[in-house]
Each structure stands twice: as structure tokens, then as C-alpha cells.
Amino acid sequence: MVKTEKSQVAIITQEIGKQLATKEVAGALLQTTFKGFSELNMRKAIFEGMMRGFSFKDFLEKNVYAIPYGQTYSLVNSIDYTRKIAMRSGLAGKSEPIFEEDENGAPKSCKITVKRHADGTTGEYTAKVYFKEYSTGRNLWVTKPHTMIAKVAEMHALRSAFPEEMAQVYVEEEFEKETETLPTEEKVGEYSEKLKATKTLQELRSVYASLPQSAKAELRQLADELKKQYENLEI
């Protein structure tokens, strides 16, 4: 780790300690902003968010927030904050969502196109997503199904248009179904052995990419540890 990274880690660690200086503050956050989290995972989530450039205030304002995944978590952005990132990066407009519906008017799929202006040209990026792959069949997925799937389609289109800015950016609507279908302990063990059986960094990336999103969250720490080992071997 280079000196600047060490300094950043020290600054962030100090800031987290300052913000969570009392048990009362930490307890209040665990009851509200980080409901369902252990204090350890809350601190990890805040640290990761700050390393990505977010502030403690961003968590309080829900620009970025963490959702629990079994024993770990995933960071997600609000769609409004994601749009702000896109606007700063050259977003030149987006289409109205185009829905494919069943005979009852319920959405089956949604397609959205966004435009990005860069280097004097404007490109179009279209994404199509399917309702059954994301709907939980509960809450807003029942009362506002078109709105929910349109957010997912827009997010997919934005990631295509802005891969550097949004490679790790997701919205909660993309994860809600995954949180209800967390892998069993047996499955986590099976996926863990697959990761440990890899021999190269490329193989590790391939196996990790093939895992269900919920399993990726559970095994992210193991994948990071293996990644560091392979990177050291290649130096």
C-alpha cells in the first residue's frame, strides 16, 4: 500500500471514530440507517463507502447506503444520486421507459436508452431487463411495478454508458430479490471450495463472476484474500 493510501486509511479511520464516538450514536445508527447490521459490519460499510469517495453525511442522506446480506452487506446508491453522477459525466438525456406487458397490463420487461456526450459525439446505450428476474412480489413491486423495473433498466443503461464511473454502482431494486434468496450454508461452503480450487487470478475472477450476487457478497472477503495472493505471485 502506497503512502497516500495509508494516509487516506488513517484519515477515514479517524473520521469514523469521531462520528461513532459514543455508544448512543452507534446504537441510534444501528436502529435507523444501519438497521439489521452488527456494529462491526456498520463500521466496515462506512469505511468502504468513504474509500469510494462518499462522506458520512452521504450515508445519513441516503445518497449511499448498505443493505445486509447474511453475514455481510452490499453498498448501493440512490437512483437520484446516481443520476447526479451521470449528469456530471456527460449524460445527454434518456428515453421514456418502454414496457412489454402481459394481458393484464403487468410489466414483463422494460427497456431504457440513455445518451452520453463525450469527445464531441453522442452515443446511445440501451438496456432491457425482465420483471420476473427482479420482482420480490412484495411491497412496491406490487403497488408500483412499472416504477420499480424502470429504475433497474435505467441503472443497467447508465452502467453501460458510464462503465468507469459506475462499475460498482447499484441501486437497491437490483438486490431486493437476492436478499430474500440468500444461499444456504451448504451452498456457501460449496462456492467457497470452488474459489479455493482456483489456481490463477484470471480463473478466480471467472469463478467469482459466475456466482449468484448474494454468494458474492458472502464470499467477498475470501475472494479479496485470494486475489492478493495471486497478485503477489505474479509480481
Task: Say which residue the cell 410489466 belongs to.
Answer: 107
What is the rounded distance in angstroms from the CA atom of residue 135 to the CA atom of residue 176? 8
pLDDT computed for residue 220 by the predictor: 82
What is the rounded distance in angstroms from the CA atom of residue 192 to the CA atom of residue 189? 5
Helix (H/G/I), strand (E/B), else coil: 100: strand
Cell of 168: 460498482
pLDDT computed for residue 4 by the predictor: 64
Helix (H/G/I), strand (E/B), else coil: 154: helix
Cell of 73: 452487506
Per-10-residue mean pLDDT of the chain, 235 residues long, equals 70 92 92 90 93 91 85 86 93 96 96 95 96 91 96 96 87 77 68 90 88 75 87 66
pLDDT computed for residue 110 by the predictor: 98
pLDDT computed for residue 5 by the predictor: 66
> Please, how many CA atoms are within 13 Å of residue 121, restricted to the half-sphere of its CB?
3
pLDDT computed for residue 169 by the predictor: 85
Cell of 140: 412496491
pLDDT computed for residue 235 by the predictor: 47
pLDDT computed for residue 176 by the predictor: 77
What is the rounded distance in angstroms from the CA atom of residue 165 to the CA atom of residue 162? 5
What is the rounded distance in angstroms from the CA atom of residue 9 to the CA atom of residue 155? 30
Cell of 84: 447526479
CA-nearest of 195, 217, 199 to 208 is 195
